[in-house]
Amino acid sequence: MSGLSSVLGPALKAAAGLAGINKLWFLPTFLAAITYYHYDLYDPESKPFDVKSVAPEYDFIVIGGGSAGAVLANRLTEEPAWRVLLLEAGGQETEITDVPALSLFLHGSRFDWKYKGQPSTTSCQAMIDRRCCWTRGKVIGGSSVLNTMLYVRGNRRDYDHWASEGNVGWSYQEVLPYFLKSQDQRNPYLARTPYHTAGGYLSVDDVPWKTPLGIAFLQAGQEMGYELRDVNGEFQTGFAPFQFTMRRGMRVSSAKAFLNPVRLRKNLNVALWSHVTKLLIDPITRRAYGVEFIRGGVKKTVIANKEVILAAGAVGSPQLLMLSGIGPKAHLQQKNIPVLVDSPGVGGNVMDHIAVGGIAFLVDYPISLVLQRAFNLNSALRYAISGEGPLTSSVGLEAVGFITTKYGNASDDCDKFYNEVFAEINNRDVFGVFPMMLRPKSRGVIRLRSNNPLQYPLIYPNYLTHPDDVKVLREGVKAGLALGQTAAMKRFGARYWDKPLPGCKQFAPYTDEYWDCYVRQYTMTIYHMSGSCKMGPSTDPYAVVDPQLRVHGIDGLRVIDASIMPTITNGNINAPVIMIAEKGADMIKYYWKTPGIAARQSRNTNTTIV
């Protein structure tokens, strides 16, 4: 299981019993109630059509139907003359994937690629085989079907930094319109501010179910001297309630937001259960002209008249580039792959947000989201009938604090705390604080296991290989403990659950040495994998794509997903990935609709063509 799941191990086990073993009535009753009360919402015809057969050629082929791919398929088919094929390796969403409280149960399911990092000596020490799981969505909608639906754009300094590194057009003021373009902000107070808007495809709303601990968390932040903020507003440092990609208490995945409304467009074909295995590239002209994929056990080929667009994510995109001859020359030769472009940055620069698990506080009052209150007949019917109740809670996530440790920069270089009310320990209500590092200095690597496209790549997250990352998380733990000591939390009798971590018993509790050990034991990925196909100008030898998201050294090929991030953004990355796809779609439209521009622009390359 994932790092977060290991923290909640007893809770998940209990929930499994409640939902499937001890109370066999819950799941079928729940599904029947949803079907009865929401038959119109769950009509199979409302989902994207899965074409039975793929045409020989299209104008654009989009690989991956996740957060980026769904946006691209929508925006490109706004041009009626363009035929677009969206290839997705997984299948459809289900009623269960719509339920916010069940998101953790989807990890390790058929909706998950089930990747795992390689064993580590610096992190994930308390995990099985010292490996952190890398949950990635294998379903239409991608990881937006499995995530906790948090809508966080990041810090304006993230994007200004991208622009300062030569990525023209990617400053905060230039990307903000693309965040607004997607958004349908359902909180009327936020919708009237300059940082939000209504009417877009992507619903953003407040969670219907709240506990007193969420409010107390915000009050605790004020006691610590922080302002209350709009997490996506002018300033980020401070405490804020979360915003969610949610509508009527149900998950809004990228597929539900961007594909369902346009499923009747004649120029859009969606092919599910289609695993792309290779990009077709002319070795003479260095132009991508199609893809190979496997569907129903049969290898197929399809041609792209204009462009092939990789939106397969931080693992899938570099893997496909390398399998197709674009990557570090020595590595490709070692795997017996003919080298088309020696691009040393492919699969490098891997980033993720990691947190520290297990920082739990016992409370004396029955106020938290515990399993017995969520998984019962009353909550199931309440959810099915009115879209309310504890099942609308995103695994207890309610509020967040962005703070700066003594190792941070002058402003907005933050640790992030989740207030997660997750389980009962020793039959008591509990809340958890999860310090999360937002600007890691450690970098990971993705490499091919072999030239077999069906074999998963080797993932080396390299968490905490830079000593500064350990220091930041250590200070985050201290700040989390201080939050539990505020008057706002003490009202509920909050006290730290100080059971020593078995792997750190050799160190005195509460010392820096103990917390350093704790951080390395209880490393939790937050599943924000990014950076493995870095965006940068031709002067950057490790850049994989240019600021127009075109692959250096290859014509007709772009990468548009989280892998292009030069540095990771401050917060959950689903909203930034959707923004990247919105902006990328406009770049493609400009390129092909401006008379003569495709002929005038030469390939911008920083790579060695072999």
Task: Please give the positions annotated as active site.
Answer: 528
* Residue 79 CA: distances (Å) to CA of 84, 180, 596: 10, 21, 18
CA within 13 Å, CB half, 152 = 29
Strand partners, 280: 290
Euclidean distance between CA atoms 99 and 106, whole angstroms: 11
Q: How far is CA 537 from the centre of its chain?
A: 25
The helix (H) or strand (E) run that includes residue 480 is helix 467-484
Residues 134/462, Cβ–Cβ less than 8 Å: no
Euclidean distance between CA atoms 366 and 353, whole angstroms: 32
Residues with Cβ within 8 Å of 321's Cβ and at least 6 positions away in sequence, in order, are: 279, 310, 327, 343, 346, 533, 544, 551, 559
- The identity of residue 384, as a single letter, is A
**What is the rounded radius of gyration, in angstroms, for the C-alpha atoms of the chain?**
23
308 labelled ligand-binding: no
Distance, first Cα to last Cα, the chain? 42
Whose CA is closest to 155, among 185, 182, 175? 175
Alpha helices, DSSP H, located in 242-346: 254, 313-323, 329-334
Residues 203/247, Cβ–Cβ less than 8 Å: yes
Q: How many CB atoms lie within 10 A of CB 538?
A: 15
276 labelled ligand-binding: yes
Strand partners, 492: none
Q: What is the 3-state secondary structure (H, E, C) of 126-178?
A: CCHHHCCEECCECECCHHHHCCCCECCCCCHHHHHHHHHCCCCCCCHHHHHHH
Whose CA is closest to 162, among 153, 154, 152, 172? 172
- The torsion defined by the Cα of 530, 532, 535 and 540, in degrees rounded to 10, comes to 140
Euclidean distance between CA atoms 510 and 501, whole angstroms: 11
DSSP per residue, 77-107: TTSTT--EEEE-SSB---TGGG-GGGGGGGT
Helix 156-164 / helix 172-182 crossing angle, nearest 10 deg: 130
User: Which one-letter DSSP state was computed for residue 516?
Assistant: H
Q: How far is CA 360 from the centre of its chain?
A: 25
Strand partners, 320: none
Residues within the annotated binding site for FAD? 139, 276
